[in-house]
């Protein structure tokens, strides 16, 4: 059995979790603060808010961008459904932008086509770690008066114009789900450039409580808290943050290993005209959170045959990225159903993901390649 991904977790993470548990502080506490500072230092962001998931982080980022009922938010349909769901949580409306046939990301052109007079924010996605062209999309946002938010769920460790993704936009949100490159079990982080906005979101993260647990515990006097607005419980635990510190220390090694494995796949498959293989765009580098291949021919029929073939041979292939406008959850959306987003539909129908994990062996990779060759 060759799985699609295996998180690289071991004794160091177990030890870190153990220390957190034995410290007596298991909810959000000092280790969360330490983890936030460490991620900020790494990616060059001003502030970081550790949260329970990327999904809750996206919700906070949209609130930070003052997105509310009646607003439009430009977002790719071709993404994990959480991206569009987060817009719905605010009572706002997703306007789906189509994607580039090469990068599977939204572009300045597709974003521009989706801008309306009610557009309050643009939520771009660095799909499967492949960087989108942030500067080009920011120019469209600036012209439209929209706030740029990056869904970087898969993109920690990817780079844009020489710097790691995380400090380029007012809000950048990571996921630490086990399917991503580093993990805290569940978890995420919102990178924020404006300190006042970060302070407000920190309060909303814990029920909009006027004073944090840490501040209350360390005060000499008895403190009564208050709740001036609607808040949420979107906190990360100190146990997760302790694991996150260890994982962050492995990030560079994880990314360089994934890039090496991607190069192996590339060399073995580049002669197949039928396969469109993933490559770095001119302006950045991907962390290859997923090695996602699109078929140039054969359509959905061949793609599904490959997935079934992998399943029969116990190889963990996976479909490419879903498209929210084709799902029941968005069936009443005005772009629902086929036809409105041709490139997104091609990607979701005709792409698939190969297994890739840190300790993948040469013979496991060769086996995947061999099975794929047979199925083509
Ligand atoms: C995984 C993923 C999410 C959701 O992340 P969670 O941490 O599981 O909430 C959101 N957006 C994209 C693009 C993702 O890949």
Identify whether residues 197 and 82 lie together within a single domain.
yes
Residue 78 maps to which CATH number? 3.40.640.10
Ligand 1: centre distance to CA 36 (Å): 19
Domain boundary among the residues 249, 267, 286 is at 249
Assess if residue 300 is contained within a domain. Answer: yes
Answer yes or no: do 292 and 245 share one domain. no
**Which of 195, 228, 249 is the last residue in one of the domains?**
249
Nearest CA to ligand 1 atom 6: 54
Please state the atom number of ligand 1 nearest to the C-alpha of residue 188. 7
**Together in a domain, 57 and 152:** yes
Supply 46's token pair: 């001003």
- The answer to whether residues 194 and 302 belong to one domain is no
83 lines ligand 1 (CB under 6 A): yes
C-alpha distance from residue 193 to each of 40, 185, 208 (Å): 10, 26, 20
51 lines ligand 1 (CB under 6 A): no
Domain check: are 191 and 283 in the same one?
A: no
| Pocket lining: 110 vs ligand 1, CB cutoff 6 Å | no
Are residues 223 and 278 part of one domain? no
Q: Give strand pairing partners of 191.
A: 48, 172
Answer whether 141 contacts ligand 1 (Cβ < 6 A): no
**Ligand 1 atom nearest to CA at 128:** 15
Is 2 domain-assigned? no
Q: Are residues 36 and 48 in the same domain?
A: yes
Q: Which of 57, 61, 83, 184 to mutate to test the pocket of ligand 1 (most atoms within 8 A of CB)?
A: 83
Domain match, 198 and 166 both = yes
Q: Is residue 367 part of a domain?
A: yes
Q: Among 249, 269, 303, which residue terminates a domain?
A: 249
Q: Do the domain assignments include residue 272?
A: yes
pLDDT at 98: 98
Report how far apart the first and last C-alpha atoms of the chain are (Å, whole number).
21
183, part of any domain: yes
| Same domain flag for 33 and 175 | yes
- Shortest CA distance to 60 belongs to which of 181, 191, 252? 191
Nearest 5°: CA angle at 60, between 58 and 64?
115
CATH, residue 367 = 3.90.1150.10
Q: Ligand 1 centre and the CA of 151: distance in Å?
A: 8
Residue pair 224/40 in contact (Cβ under 8 Å)? The answer is no
pLDDT value of position 64? 98
Q: Which domain holds residue 57?
A: 11-249
Same domain (yes/no): 276, 174: no
| 5, part of any domain | no
Q: Is 54 in the pocket of ligand 1 (CB under 6 A)?
A: yes
pLDDT string in tens for the chain (376-residue length): 999 999 999 999 999 999 999 999 999 999 999 999 999 999 999 999 999 999 999 999 999 999 999 999 999 999 999 999 999 999 999 999 999 999 999 999 999 999 999 999 999 999 999 999 999 999 999 999 999 999 999 999 999 999 999 999 999 999 999 999 999 999 999 999 999 999 999 999 999 998 877 788 888 899 888 999 999 999 999 999 999 999 999 999 999 999 999 999 999 999 999 999 999 999 999 999 999 999 999 999 999 999 999 999 999 999 999 999 999 999 999 999 999 999 999 999 999 999 999 999 999 999 999 999 999 9
Question: Is the minimum distance from the CB of 47 to ligand 1 under 6 angstroms?
Answer: no
Domains of the chain: total: 2
Task: Assess if residue 6 is contained within a domain.
Answer: no
One domain for residues 54 and 190: yes
Mutate to test the pocket of ligand 1, among 76, 158, 175, 321 (most ligand atoms within 8 A of CB): 175
Q: Report how far residue 281's alpha carbon sits from residue 42's, in angstroms, rounded to the nearest whole number.
A: 22
Q: Is the dihedral of CA 51, 55, 61, 63 positive or negative?
A: negative
> Is pTM, for the whole model, over 0.95?
yes
Residue 237 domain-assigned (yes or no): yes
180 and 258 in a common domain? no
């Amino acid at each position: 059995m060759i799985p699609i991904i295996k998180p690289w977790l071991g004794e160091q993470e177990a030890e870190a979790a153990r220390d957190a548990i034995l410290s007596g502080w298991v909810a959000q506490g000092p280790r969360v603060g330490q983890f936030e500072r460490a991620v900020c230092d790494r990616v060059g962001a001003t502030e970081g808010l550790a949260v329970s998931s990327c999904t809750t982080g996206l919700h906070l980022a949209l609130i930070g961008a003052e997105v509310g009922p009646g607003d439009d938010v430009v977002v790719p349909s071709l993404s994990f459904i959480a991206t569009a769901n987060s817009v719905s949580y605010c009572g706002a409306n997703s306007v789906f932008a189509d994607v580039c046939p090469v990068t599977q990301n939204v572009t300045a052109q597709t974003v521009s086509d989706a801008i309306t007079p009610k557009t309050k924010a643009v939520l771009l996605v660095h799909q499967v770690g492949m960087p989108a062209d942030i500067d080009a999309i920011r120019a469209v946002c600036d012209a439209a008066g929209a706030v740029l938010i990056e869904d970087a769920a898969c993109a920690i460790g990817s780079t844009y114009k020489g710097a790691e993704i995380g400090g380029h936009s007012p809000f950048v949100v990571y996921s630490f789900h086990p399917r991503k490159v580093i993990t805290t079990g569940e978890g995420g982080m919102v990178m924020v450039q404006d300190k006042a906005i970060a302070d407000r979101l920190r309060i909303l993260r814990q029920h909009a409580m006027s004073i944090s647990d840490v501040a209350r515990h360390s005060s000499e006097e008895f403190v009564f808290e208050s709740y001036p607005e609607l808040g949420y419980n979107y906190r990360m635990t100190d146990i997760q943050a302790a694991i996150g510190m260890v994982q962050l220390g492995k990030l560079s090694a994880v990314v360089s290993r994934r890039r090496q494995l991607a190069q192996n796949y590339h060399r073995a498959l580049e002669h197949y005209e039928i396969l469109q293989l993933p490559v770095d765009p001119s302006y950045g580098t991907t962390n290859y959170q997923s090695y996602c291949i699109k078929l140039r021919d054969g359509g959905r029929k061949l793609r599904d045959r490959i997935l079934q073939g992998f399943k029969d041979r116990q190889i963990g292939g996976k479909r490419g990225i879903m498209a929210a406008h084709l799902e029941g959850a968005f069936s009443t959306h005005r772009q629902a159903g086929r036809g409105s987003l041709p490139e997104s539909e091609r990607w979701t129908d005709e792409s698939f993901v190969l297994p890739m994990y840190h300790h993948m062996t040469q013979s496991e990779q060769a086996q995947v390649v061999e099975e794929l060759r047979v199925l083509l």
